[in-house]
Structure 1
């Protein structure tokens, strides 16, 4: 029987959490910098 490693699931959850945080930060940066980009095409 193959059992799921708790560390593996924990790392997967951590990676998912970090990716979500990075995506939110990236969206914040895009929203923050979009006016400058629009002003200077």
Structure 2
């Protein structure tokens, strides 16, 4: 059996692969309303 980690290390998988980039938002954890706001 092959593991996910082994699959991700193969050249076939890496061809054209770009790791996801996530948007980083600046949220102050001191503001409780912002932390629990579900609109983000």
TM over 0.5: no
What TM-score range do you get, normalising by the shorter chain?
A: under 0.3
**More helix by proportion, 1 or 2?**
1
TM-score by length of 2: 0.25
Choose between structure 1 and 2 for higher RCO, CA contacts under 8 A separated by at least 6 residues.
2
